[in-house]
Amino acid sequence: MNIGKHQLLTAEKETEFGFYLSDGRNHRETVLLPKKFAPAGFKEGDELEVFLSLDSEDRPVATTQKPKAEVGTLAVLRVKETTKIGAFLDWGLDKDLLLPFREQPQRVEAGRSYLVRLYIDEKTGRIVASRRLSRFYTGDVRELVPNQEVKFTVWDKARLGWRVIIDDKYIGIIYDNELFRAVKPGDRFTGFVHCIREEENRADIRFRPDGFDGVAAGKPAILDALEDAGGFLPLNSKSSVEEIQASFSFSKRVFKQLIGMLYKERKIVITDDGIRLADANQTEEKP
């Protein structure tokens, strides 16, 4: 039985307390599904996907409730209360999830939400949460290559940007000057490896690839925005950084490059008050 995971199990026996489930192969190893969690019409021989955890007496128990995370995964969870042994988090089950003091780099506060990873405590066998994420993501960044497309999760604020977890394996950072949108812990994005820092075993991440191709990749976003706006946007090279970033996740420099490309491709017309989609037969353009 994989504690902290979802499993497809078979009802072996019904009792007054509920159903004993097995994996259908090892009939001696069973786990109780309390009657309150059994769906209507459930009977012996039926299969059911359940989540396995431990009850108050540390016995394996099954539930059809859906937790917000499994063991080995990340989730942003709300602190319900703090106690003498740690904080208890709302993770979607009747029994709250413990975040021990030793797993809190800084003390958490009731009512606030935090990014945590779930793991099995080796001493107790219980599912617990941790905010000390570095020890779980120790992949060698030399396995990455510059401009490689990756998935990353925003972790926490650093002095010059945000620490991130790359491909659920590596630690990285995305700098504030690469951010043209608001982010928060738990947000997931697609990005690209910009720089590999072997000494620190860390990689720098950007939202777009390096070089010309990275800039050009932003052209569809401008054309889509023009389509959605009826063919005109009140933005051009004279617009402020704030005006541009209210509509796009580009710096002003990149935005100017993009509209310059689209203008040369005769896909847009640049006017004194903005940009608009070029008509099929449009020849008059204003840079």
Mean pLDDT by 10 residues, the chain (287 residues): 92 93 81 94 93 89 95 96 95 94 95 96 93 95 91 93 96 86 90 91 86 65 88 89 78 82 89 85 46
The whole-number pLDDT of residue 55 equals 86
pLDDT in tens, 224-248: 889 989 999 998 888 888 888 778 7
User: Which architecture does CATH list for 141-207?
Assistant: Beta Barrel (2.40)
Cα→Cα distances 269→166, 260, 273, Å:
39, 10, 11
pLDDT in tens, 189-205: 999 998 999 999 999 99
Q: Please name the helix (run of DSSP H) or strand (run of DSSP E) that holds residue 227, with its range, or none.
A: helix 219-228
Q: Where in the chain is the domain with CATH 2.40.50.140?
A: 6-63, 74-134, 141-207
The whole-number pLDDT of residue 213 equals 59
The whole-number pLDDT of residue 258 equals 85
Task: Look up residue 231 and give its two tokens.
Answer: 């063919």
Task: Look up residue 88 and give its two tokens.
Answer: 């208890």
The whole-number pLDDT of residue 134 equals 93
Burial class (CB within 10 angstroms; exposed 0-12, middle 13-18, buried 19+) of 179 = middle
Q: Where in the chain is the domain with CATH 1.10.10.10?
A: 216-277
- pTM > 0.75: no
Cα→Cα distances 175→143, 195, 204, Å:
21, 12, 8
CATH number corresponding to 74-134: 2.40.50.140
Sheet holding 232-233, edge to edge: 232-233, 274-277, 268-271
Residue type, position 268, single letter: I
Q: Assign a CATH topology to domain 216-277.
A: Arc Repressor Mutant, subunit A (1.10.10)
Q: Assign a CATH topology to domain 6-63.
A: OB fold (Dihydrolipoamide Acetyltransferase, E2P) (2.40.50)
Task: Look up residue 18 and give its two tokens.
Answer: 């509920």
